[in-house]
Chain A
Amino acid sequence: MVTLNSKIPEGPLADKWNNHKASVRLVSPANKKKLDIIVVGAGAAGASAAASLAELGYNVKVFVYQDSSRRAHSIASQGGINATKNYKNDADSDYRLFYDMIKGGDFRAREANVYRLAEVSNNTIDQFVAQGVPFAREYSGYLANRSFGGVQVSRTFYAQGQTGQQCTLAAYQALMRQIKAGKAQMFSRRFLLDLIVINGKARGIIVRNLVSGEIERHSAHAVVFATGGFGTVYYLSTLAINSNGSASMAAYRKGAFMANPSMAQIHPTCIPVLNDYQSKLTLMSESLRNDGRVWVPKEKNEKRHPNDIPEEERDYYLERRYPAFGNLVPRDVASRAAKERCDAGYGVGDTGLSVYLDFRDAIRNQGKDVIADKYGNLFDLYTKVTGINPYIEPMRIYPASHYTMGGLWVDYNLMTSIPGLYAIGEANFSDHGANRLGASSLLQCAGDGYFILPVTIGNYLADDIRTPRISTDEPEFEKAEKEAKEKLNRLLSINGHQTVTSFHKRLGHIMWQYSGMRRNEKGLQKALQLVDELKEEFWKDVKVPGEMNELNQELEKAFRVADFFDLAHLIITDALHRKESCGAHFREEYQTEDGEPLRNDKDFMYVAAWEYTGENSPPKLNKEELSFKYVKVTKRSYK
């Protein structure tokens, strides 16, 4: 087993980042001009990083699979972004945000990283406001805040239900400005196929030009992956349908460790699955739980219209089970509680797989206008998908795959276990432990991109100022290009009977069934076998039409799904090995009498960082032990 060095700076928690900034090596402006950086992905994380690096003077090359980087899935993020401004005077502080995230993550995140995130949170809001993000304001003209799950202060900044859109566009526009200035270059409609490692260092990538189908080589002194989450391994999810794990898997195969891949967030408030054709699930922002009350009928098989069910026959089960936090319990808790009620037969809707989220009382107490002001566009979105008007009757919601806390292992500098390869945003594992709190991902993405990576990458590149531009004729490029072509040709030549999507659906079904909100040894073992069998079937019987040298969307899908099999295998392996329940990872064998998760700090207080050992050999487990010096490790309770 390798000992993982997380490179956490010395000193007291609150001084670490400042000490680190004071001690990192710098690259002079003249030398920055000679250094190339590749950024793959340009959502909130990638765009903020690329823009900031270009402003510093590096040559930045940006790669995205969409036609424009404005379309990264960060654009869909809804409810808000956290910061410790304490504008509400409700005793918020860096420490409190840090504490909430550590506790919310069920003591499986790294203290130093999380504290640093709290420290850069205020600068992040300042930056967005200066860039023109129209955050919600009070009548006084000052910024407004609201609460999110798992916290008791009001620290979330928001722009109706489109905070992510506004923040992502701000970062996108900053990047467009750098493109105009000639400091950054955009390569859109490119899909990452492989990472190039030369003499142990990340030096480039292989991409497929999705329009011409050509395979391209690109080199740089350092490579940044900001490729987002892979919740689409469950097929249906709140992510964009083309979200994928391919970049992470490419890095993993080249030696980057995958950390806690099984830590996958299932979000409690999504529009339920309506039919078999569905390609995507729509999130209803967690902010709705500020005013919406979650309930199911007290009777099984209740057939009355929800508005006709009297108060005393409703079970507000979150308020009942968790009086201290009520409807604002963290996501994992709310999701499991919804599943518990539905599995017990109290669910509503045709399938019995949904619960009510009701605004009746909020509208009665605050007035329709106030509620419309806060959630108007979310209510409209709900009506568009379901035809139901939530001003008049409760929404129906159910949990769905949403976010991956797990991801590429990174040290304090956000560098993966491959020197020169960085991972930022949702693609890394660093800050959310076993469960992410709402409004903290946008913060992490922007914090990583604007303020952290630009400092830490300089420290690494300071060694590289004499390295000339990397040639793409190196044998490593040659070999990787050849292998990528072979893989694509192999997919095209199978010419079987089943479509790529049909395989993806089946894989998603296995993952949801056995490796979703509740897991157990037997189910996971079975899932492992099913996934491997399905993978075999895929490589024998998938049908991918068309050619390589053309725009070929089925080939794109096939490449992603091929990676999903390996990723699923890794997720299940991780879930199997973690014999405890923590955060979103709930193992049925490890629970208290009243169904709460039972953590095992003695044996599992570590980050599981999996190492690739070859196509058909099992991954190797490396551990980064976690120690908590600044919080008392307690049982996580929201009662």
Chain B
Amino acid sequence: MNITLNIWRQIDSQDKGKFVEYKLDNVSSEMTFLEMLDSLNDKLIREGKDPIAYDSDCREGICGMCGLYINGRPNGPQKGVTTCQLSMSVFKDGEKIIVEPWRSKAFPVIKDLIVDRTAFDKLIQAGGFISVNTGAAPEANAIPIKKEKAERAFDAGICIGCGTCVATCKNASAMLFVSAKVSQFALLPQGQVEAKERVQKMIKAMDELGFGNCTNTGACEAECPKEISLSNIAHLNREFYKAKVK
């Protein structure tokens, strides 16, 4: 198929940036979206033009490095996939595709489609851990944990830190990301010891880092490639409330 791409180009964080149009012929529907961009870059390099900068590493939906805004939706039109898992088969011949980086104050653009997501690391630094030094752990089976609880903790723990939730939220809130970590640990006895401090510190850091407030629009859950559940936000709110009244 032949497609027309409208891609955000920005030289560096200071540049204002603009869309540039590219035509790409003979795109196979078997390609992934990033392989399509690879082939566009291949063409640009051969033509002596500056290739487009975008992030990716694992290319299997687990490292969280790759997210892009495609036709107004994070990670494109397919549900439950990261950008690297998006297949070109969802696009039609002659289609116009608009490609942008995540847009959020907390994730400034570094170049073209690459953003700086270190704010997520800072959120984890604020309290997204269990304070156990190496060597201080008890025997693993000393604390039985209900299978169902462990599974819920896992479901929250599979967040890949991609930033889709922030990018899609009209308030640029990191609530889904933070709540996933807070719930994962609040569900486990090991994590409950610090539950109160954790939720308070992470919420405070979220405000300080320039993320917006959560107004429960639910856009994050709808677009999260890992389908992290909004119920984690409800769980966080309960934890936050508990921490306040105690």
Contacts and interface: CB of A to CB of B under 8 A. Distances in A.
Contacts of B85: 384-385
A55 B133 contact: yes
Contact of B114 (A241, A454, A551): A551
B136 interface: yes
A323 interface: no
A275 interface: yes
A454 B133 CA distance: 13
Contacts of B151: 134
Contacts, number: 212
A19 interface: no
**Residue among A137, A502, A554 with the highest chain B CB neighbour number at 10 A:** A137
A267 to B, nearest CB: 14
A353 to B, nearest CB: 16
A459 interface: no
A135 B45 contact: no
Interface in A346-372: none
B50 A142 contact: no
A19 B119 CA distance: 45
A119 to B, nearest CB: 14
B150 A136 contact: yes
Given A131-B130, A177-B131, A137 B63 contact: no
Contact of A173 (B30, B116, B124): B124
B147 A141 contact: yes
A275 B30 contact: yes
Given A76-B60, A550-B12, A551-B110, A180 B28 contact: no
A109 interface: no
B243 to A, nearest CB: 18
A176 interface: yes
A277 B35 contact: yes
A385 B87 CA distance: 8
Contacts of B31: 275, 277
A137 B120 CA distance: 30
A240 B57 contact: yes
B137 A126 contact: yes
Interface stretch (B93-101, B184-192, B210-218): B184-192
A69 B51 CA distance: 26
Contacts of B42: 499, 501-502
A73 B117 contact: no
B65 interface: yes
Interface residues of B, number: 74
Given A137-B145, A141-B146, A277-B38, A51 B134 contact: yes
Contacts of A277: 28, 30-31, 35, 38-39
A467 interface: no
B153 interface: yes
A70 interface: yes
Interface residues of A, number: 78
A592 to B, nearest CB: 37
Contacts of A454: 134
B56 A134 contact: no
Contact of A188 (B12, B118, B132): B118
A76 B58 contact: yes
Interface in B208-228: none
A76 B62 contact: yes
B56 A241 contact: yes
Contacts of B120: 68
Interface string A168-182: 010011101101100
B51 A55 contact: no
Contacts of B136: 130
Contact of B161 (A70, A138, A280): A70
B131 A275 contact: no
B128 interface: yes
Contacts of A67: 55, 65, 116-118
Nearest to A73: B58
Interface stretch (A9-17, A32-40, A157-165): A157-165
Contacts of A55: 133-134
B169 interface: no
Given A132-B190, A173-B128, A71 B150 contact: no
Interface string B134-164: 1111111101111100110110011011000
Nearest to A243: B57
A389 to B, nearest CB: 15
A280 B60 contact: yes
A242 interface: yes
Nearest to A271: B60
B64 interface: yes
Given A68-B161, A129-B190, A275-B28, 8 more contacts: A73-B57, A132-B157, A141-B147, A173-B130, A176-B124, A176-B128, A188-B118, A545-B45
Question: What are the 8 A-B residue pairs with the smallest beta carbon separation, nearest first?
Answer: A141-B144, A130-B137, A173-B129, A126-B137, A134-B153, A134-B154, A280-B59, A180-B125
Interface of B: 11-12, 28, 30-32, 34-35, 38-39, 42, 45-46, 48-51, 53, 55-65, 81, 85, 110-111, 114, 116-118, 120-121, 124-126, 128-141, 143-147, 150-151, 153-154, 157-158, 160-161, 184-185, 188, 190-191
Interface of A: 48, 51-52, 55, 66-71, 73, 75-76, 85, 87, 122-123, 125-132, 134-143, 159-160, 162, 165-166, 169, 172-174, 176-177, 179-180, 186, 188, 211, 240-242, 274-275, 277-280, 282, 381, 384-385, 450-451, 454, 497, 499, 501-502, 543, 545-546, 550-551, 553-554
16 contacts: A55-B133, A66-B65, A73-B58, A126-B139, A127-B135, A132-B129, A141-B147, A159-B154, A172-B124, A176-B125, A211-B111, A279-B32, A280-B59, A384-B85, A499-B45, A545-B49
